[in-house]
A and B are shown apart, each in its own frame.
Chain A
Amino acid sequence: MSGHPRLASGAAAAGAASGRRAARLSIKSVRRLYGELEAIRDVSFDVAEGEFLSVLGPSGCGKSTLLMMVAGLLNPSEGEIIINGDPVRGPRREIGVVFQSPLLLPWRNVLDNVLLPIEMLRLPRREYQERARALLDMAKIHDFAGRLPKELSGGMRQRVAICRALVHDPSILLMDEPFSALDALTRDEMGLELLRIWHHHRKTVIFVTHSIREAAFLSDRVLVMGRRPATVTRELAIELPRPRLIDMMEGDAFNHHVRILRKAIEASHET
């Protein structure tokens, strides 16, 4: 890969992505109001199947609100979100969500926590038990299947949460700043793990973060959201080869992307 990543304007990048693969997820002119407050203004974008998309922005810019609307936990005030042709009206089976904190149930061991969605969806536990174990294996926490969450470290708990989000084999994985509570080292490591799992399962991922480096390192494409207005202000395709390696974070190409994203965030602050 050369050290000259091509910059794509928003429309061009979206067009290129949807030209290659059928769009699975469309967000169309979505607006969300909290009383008088406009949390999200006129957000539209498509996510291609198997794409790793990050939504980057400062805290309080409404990126989590956007994700919760995609998850069907919150209704848009205007506009709609379409998944595989259907408008989102509530939580859906083909979606898995990873939240900022692991949200494990302290009375359940790791395996039973991972199997929670299977229980809620009334799927046969026995069939999915193997899958759950395979996921734990892949997340390198297989030995802890019988442990309670309090016996795990923060990073391990978030791995369990990721396994739980994947256990029912959703095609879309929504992640709401999943690593923000972890220390920097664990965070990089978790990012690599996530990419490995993503590579293996090829889910469509929407990853919300306020870390520029994290967004640049993980994603195919990054959307920058500003606070005023609370909308997508910039779109950048990340032209780094896959698989991504930690060493790339030292490289010029990576830092070039980081600079562009930082400028975009600063620009959205100024106005």
Chain B
Amino acid sequence: MTALLALARRLGSLAWPLGATLALLLAWEVLVRALGVRSILLPPPSEILEVIVLRYDLLLANLWPSLYMTVFGFLLSVVGGVFIAILITYSAIVRKVLYPIIVISQVVPKISIAPLLIVWFGTGAISGLLLAFLIGFFPMTINAAAGFQAVDEDILKMARACMGSRWQIFRSIRLPHAMPYLFSGMKISITLAIIGVVVSEFVASQEGIGYLIKLAGGLLDTPLMMAAITVLSITGLLLYAIIAWVEGLVIYWQSPSFVEVAQGA
């Protein structure tokens, strides 16, 4: 019953943004047709949808390489970010030496080194993967480090009084405590990883959604280009939604639950 209610509330909260989006698409459709705007400038949504349906095999064939590079680059940035964050948390030397370097290195717009990566690693998957990793790594590291260090000093004191070792305190206290921080880092990293992959494909690639967008642009095939952008956006939304869904499962103690029931008992 409560679950149903929660679902209904959730759908209710989605109704407004969904409705607004549909209204916008409808206005776009009507205006483009009424004003006779040419497809090459701005195709109506119906035409973009038509391209997605008719050329789904081309879109999918180019989506897969982009998708797996995004996911692997993202996973690398999560593992790397958490690892460096652990070092930052536990090693004063790393905190003093490495941390400022990582922060300062953020001045370099990572997209600008995409051509450099191509020079070093070629036009294959490695360049895209590396760019996705590099671009997603920073928010992951910063969030994880903040999470590991945000534990209440008194809780650490309590754990030490229980004779917990460093590792036990990390595993039983710092890590679960950092989970909300890790997930906000992941949500940022996944969207950035997509950018990294697409930019890398823009620069030099023989496949991928970024390659398809560039190719369609070159052919002045605007409907195909916008179909590719749409597919890319939906993919990004789905990846984000997956992380948000896992977050809800992992951080069960923060989801609003049956407080009233407990206090009524």
Instruction: Indicate whether A3 reaches chain B with its CB closer than 8 angstroms.
Output: no
The one of A73, A97, A101, A106 that contacts B253, using a Cβ cutoff of 8 Å: A106
| Known contacts A103-B152, A107-B176, A120-B168; A150 and B158 CB within 8 A of each other | no
Per-residue contact bits, chain A 104-148, to B (CB 8 Å; 1 contact, 0 not): 011100000000110111000000000000000000000110011
Considering the chains assembled together, what is the distance between the CA atoms of A105 and B160 in angstroms?
A: 14
The distance from the CB of A216 to the nearest CB of chain B, in whole angstroms, is: 27
B154 touches A103 (CB 8 A): yes
Instruction: Indicate whether A271 reaches chain B with its CB closer than 8 angstroms.
Output: no
The distance from the CB of B253 to the nearest CB of chain A, in whole angstroms, is: 4
Number of interface residues, chain B, beta carbon within 8 A? 27
Considering the chains assembled together, what is the distance between the CA atoms of A150 and B258 in angstroms?
A: 10
Instruction: Indicate whether B172 reaches chain A with its CB closer than 8 angstroms.
Output: yes
B168 touches A99 (CB 8 A): no
Considering the chains assembled together, what is the distance between the CA atoms of A93 and B252 in angstroms?
A: 32
Across chains A and B, the number of contacting residue pairs, with CB separation under 8 Å, is 66
The distance from the CB of A142 to the nearest CB of chain B, in whole angstroms, is: 13
List B contacts of A95 (CB < 8 A): 161
Considering the chains assembled together, what is the distance between the CA atoms of A144 and B259 in angstroms?
A: 12
B154 touches A148 (CB 8 A): no
The distance from the CB of A40 to the nearest CB of chain B, in whole angstroms, is: 18
List B contacts of A151 (CB < 8 A): 257-259, 262-263
In the complex, chain B residues 153-199 whose Cβ is within 8 Å of any chain A Cβ: 154-155, 157-165, 168, 172-173, 176, 179
List A contacts of B251 (CB < 8 A): 107
B157 touches A99 (CB 8 A): yes
The majority secondary structure among interface residues of chain B is helix
List A contacts of B179 (CB < 8 A): 107
Number of interface residues, chain A, beta carbon within 8 A? 29
Considering the chains assembled together, what is the distance between the CA atoms of A144 and B258 in angstroms?
A: 13
The majority secondary structure among interface residues of chain A is loop
List B contacts of A148 (CB < 8 A): 253, 257
A116 touches B157 (CB 8 A): no
Per-residue contact bits, chain A 143-171, to B (CB 8 Å; 1 contact, 0 not): 11001101111000000000000000000
The distance from the CB of B192 to the nearest CB of chain A, in whole angstroms, is: 28
B interface vs A, CB < 8 Å? Answer: 152, 154-155, 157-165, 168, 172-173, 176, 179, 251-254, 257-259, 262-263, 265
Cβ contacts A to B, 24 pairs, < 8 Å: A68-B157, A71-B161, A73-B157, A91-B161, A91-B163, A92-B163, A97-B161, A99-B158, A103-B155, A105-B155, A106-B253, A107-B176, A107-B179, A117-B162, A117-B163, A120-B162, A120-B168, A121-B163, A147-B262, A148-B253, A150-B253, A150-B259, A151-B258, A151-B263
